[in-house]
Amino acid sequence: MSTATTTAVTTPVMPARPWLTTAIIFAALLTVPVWLPMLGGYTALAGRVLVLGLAAMSFNLLLGFTGVMSFGHAAYFGLGAYGAGLTLKYIAPSTPLAMVGGVLLGGILGSLFGRLIAQRRGVYFAMVTVAFGQIAFYVTYSWDSLTGGYDGLRGFSRAPLNLGFTTIDITNNSTYFYYFLLFVFAVATGLQALLLASPFGRTLVAIRENERRARFLGIPIERHIWMSFSISCCFTALAGALYALLNNFADPMGLHYSLSGEIVIMTVMGGMRAFWGPLIGAALFVVLQDYISSMTVNWMSFVGLIFVLVVLFFPRGLLGMLQKGTEK
């Protein structure tokens, strides 16, 4: 029998060697500082991939594994960023505390909001998530004294990591900071994998597959959608907190619906039924953005074109298609 982890995570696309994708991805991520400069990239670019990849994977707990579409996930990403920034600026210069602050702000507001909307379905659910996202955006935008308004929140920076026996300088050393991001990313996605392999995770897939059957098996649908939404918001907020640490800056555009749309694009492009799909989508998105935006300000139309091509020719997304291809 295959292990519980692999069955749930890769359903329904079930690659012949479930651990292969994970191994390849981590081998590539661990060696980024070696190979990325050779290709003309820079380490901060890889940091962006990890952060946006984590946001998209967290979003995908909802879209790909619960079958519920949120169009306002940037709100929790942005709130996570502000939570981290405000913690560093006003409470204590501690990087771990900043992450906790970000997760709490985004997670608690997401959970409260999720409680109100768990009864809604389909396009109604999507619309109210957009509405809440825009409320959060305008509040952040207008609350000048606390958030810095349009200019964003400045005047904070990530603090060195104090592990007790030693201190790691993630403030100035970009390689150390990259490995710090990778560590948080690995822990967060590991928790997501465990979640999806648990009985609770299977009820989410059950809701995605057939809500009526799930209900008649005694699964309290609304409660589980709410839990899934809250968990997804917490992880998205963690990604937002990492984004604030990466840039030493948080701005209202981090909550804007255009970022919500980009998260959806990354997820669908990479493959929403594959566990690592959204990360692949985020990598493609960040690289396209970086290369094409250096050539034209209309880079988004090229990303759009590529998105359309991927959806038309690889409906399972890039990773979904690759895993399907290596099957048998």
- What's the closest the beta carbon of residue 183 comes to other proteins, in angstroms? 22
Check if the beta carbon of residue 228 is closer than 8 Å to that of residue 61: yes
- What's the closest the beta carbon of residue 223 comes to other proteins, in angstroms? 8
- What's the closest the beta carbon of residue 8 comes to other proteins, in angstroms? 8
Shorter beta-carbon distance to other proteins: residue 39 or 212? 212
Shorter beta-carbon distance to other proteins: residue 216 or 313? 216
- What's the closest the beta carbon of residue 68 comes to other proteins, in angstroms? 16
Give the whole-angstrom CA distance, residue 5 versus residue 85: 35
Shorter beta-carbon distance to other proteins: residue 65 or 307? 65
Residue 149 has which token pair? 């308004």
Shorter beta-carbon distance to other proteins: residue 73 or 273? 273
Distance separating the N- and C-terminal Cα atoms of the chain = 17
Q: What SS3 class is residue 179?
A: helix
Give the whole-angstrom CA distance, residue 172 versus residue 179: 13
* Strand 161-162 to 167-168 pairing: antiparallel
Residue 136 has which token pair? 């959060």
- What's the closest the beta carbon of residue 231 comes to other proteins, in angstroms? 10
Residue 52 has which token pair? 């946006």
Shorter beta-carbon distance to other proteins: residue 155 or 315? 315
- What's the closest the beta carbon of residue 7 comes to other proteins, in angstroms? 7
- Half-sphere exposure at residue 238, Cβ-oriented, CA atoms within 13 angstroms: 25
Shorter beta-carbon distance to other proteins: residue 115 or 202? 202
Secondary structure element (H or E) that encloses residue 220, with its range:
none
DSSP state of 161: E
- What's the closest the beta carbon of residue 4 comes to other proteins, in angstroms? 7
- What's the closest the beta carbon of residue 227 comes to other proteins, in angstroms? 8
Give the whole-angstrom CA distance, residue 251 versus residue 158: 16
Contacting positions for other proteins (CB under 8 A): 4, 7, 11-12, 194-195, 198-203, 205-206, 209-210, 212-220, 224, 227
Distances in whole angstroms, Cα of residue 70 to Cα of each of 20, 62, 124, 253: 30, 8, 10, 18
Check if the beta carbon of residue 281 is closer than 8 Å to that of residue 272: no
Shorter beta-carbon distance to other proteins: residue 201 or 278? 201
Shorter beta-carbon distance to other proteins: residue 36 or 319? 319
- What's the closest the beta carbon of residue 95 comes to other proteins, in angstroms? 27
Shorter beta-carbon distance to other proteins: residue 202 or 324? 202
Which residue stretches of the chain are H helix? 4-10, 18-30, 32-35, 43-66, 74-86, 95-117, 122-142, 144-147, 174-197, 199-209, 211-216, 221-247, 257-270, 277-293, 299-313, 317-325
Residue 327 has which token pair? 């099957």
